Structure 1
Amino acid sequence: MNNYKYFEQDGEKYHLKAQFVFIAFLGGIFLLGGLLLAFTKGSADKAVMWIGYAMALLGALVLLRLTTKTTIDMENRQILFKRHFLTSEVAYSLDNFETFVVASTVSLFGITMNGAVNMVLNINGKEKLLMLNQSIFTVAPLNNMVNEALQIMKLED
């Protein structure tokens, strides 16, 4: 049995581990900051109150990402993807897999501010992107996760 850092193996299914700390921190900052803004400064200024509510809503949406589930099912050669607990699971055939894209946003000073890895699928001639993970300040963990996924999918040794 292989020991993966980013995936948990369950027979022929490989579940992508959730980025609990990163997502909870980011969502919590926006949720708490928005509520704090809305109920302190926002009590005197309606525009600030609505900005606080928008920040809190954004934080809640980020926290929904904690319930995302991505599974590589090698027995059925599928990728099972569930955006969050309010949506149903969707199965994509591994035959539709094209590539992974690791993208980063770099600041003026050359610092990587944000990184994201997407799985690119070609379904009936249309491109479908599945966001798998994000990072800040570096894309090295995303590249390592992609290497593990390629190994699991038996596309690279």
Structure 2
Amino acid sequence: MTHYRYFTQEGDKFHLRSNTSAAIVRSVLCLAMAAGIYFLIPPEKKIGLWGAGLFVFFALINLLRSTKKLTIDVAAKTVVHKNNALTAEATYRFDEFVQFYVLRHSYLFRFIMLDCTAFLVFGQEGREKQVPVVVGLFSARPAQNAVNEMSAIMGFEAA
């Protein structure tokens, strides 16, 4: 049995591991920053309220990101994806698979990498559907490792 870093295996199903504890820590930090901004900036200045609201919004986004679910069912040859708690599940078949895609975001003339995202790309009903899987900060290695694991699980060649 192969050990995977980004997926847990239950029979013929592979579930994407979510980092819930890190998302909760990031949410608590955002809420603490929101409280700090709200109480440190005088109430006459509206920027304190806007800044606090922005950090509360970031906290909610972090909590939503922790509810992402991705399941690769090797026996049924399907991928079930639910981006967060507010979206519906989408099911894709292996025969609709087009490619793996790794997107890099760079800054300052490609000198500093900000983040890198790994996608599964499916062709469904004549439209291209991109399923985000893993985001790596400041390095492409986590996204590339996730692509390698997915290609091994799905039995495809990673290009």
Same fold (TM over 0.5): yes
2: CA distance between counterparts of 1:31 and 1:131?
26
Q: Which moved more, 1:82-91 or 1:96-105?
A: 82-91
Equivalent in the alignment of 1:154: 155
Asked if 2 retains the 8 angstrom alpha-carbon contact of 1:42 and 1:50, the reply is: no
Equivalent in the alignment of 1:2: 2
Equivalent in the alignment of 2:68: 68
3-state SS of paired residue (1:101): strand
Equivalent in the alignment of 1:119: 120
Equivalent in the alignment of 1:52: 52
Q: CA deviation at 1:96?
A: 1.4
Q: Which consecutive residues of structure 1, in runs of 5 or more, have no partner in the other structure?
A: none
Q: Which consecutive residues of structure 2, in runs of 5 or more, have no partner in the other structure?
A: none
Read off the aligned partner of 2:69 and give its amino acid letter.
K
Change (3 A) 1:138 1:57: same
How many residues matched?
Answer: 157
Asked if 2 retains the 8 angstrom alpha-carbon contact of 1:42 and 1:49, the reply is: no
Asked if 1 retains the 8 angstrom alpha-carbon contact of 2:100 and 2:120, the reply is: yes
Equivalent in the alignment of 2:89: 89
2: CA distance between counterparts of 1:42 and 1:14?
51
1:123-142 maps to which residues of 2 (within 5 A)? 123-142=124-143
1: CA distance between counterparts of 2:140 and 2:43?
41
1: CA distance between counterparts of 2:29 and 2:115?
17
Asked if 2 retains the 8 angstrom alpha-carbon contact of 1:35 and 1:52, the reply is: yes
1: CA distance between counterparts of 2:142 and 2:12?
24
Q: Deviations over 1:99-118 (max 9, x none)?
A: 12111112217121111112
1: CA distance between counterparts of 2:49 and 2:29?
17
1:96-107 maps to which residues of 2 (within 5 A)? 96-107=96-107
3-state SS of paired residue (2:64): helix
Q: CA deviation at 1:25?
A: 4.8
Read off the aligned partner of 1:76 and give its amino acid letter.
A
Asked if 1 retains the 8 angstrom alpha-carbon contact of 2:134 and 2:142, the reply is: no
Change (3 A) 1:101 1:23: farther
Q: CA deviation at 1:153?
A: 0.4
3-state SS of paired residue (1:128): strand
Task: Give percent identity, aligned residues only.
Answer: 29
3-state SS of paired residue (1:67): coil
Q: TM-score if structure 1 supplies the norm length?
A: 0.87
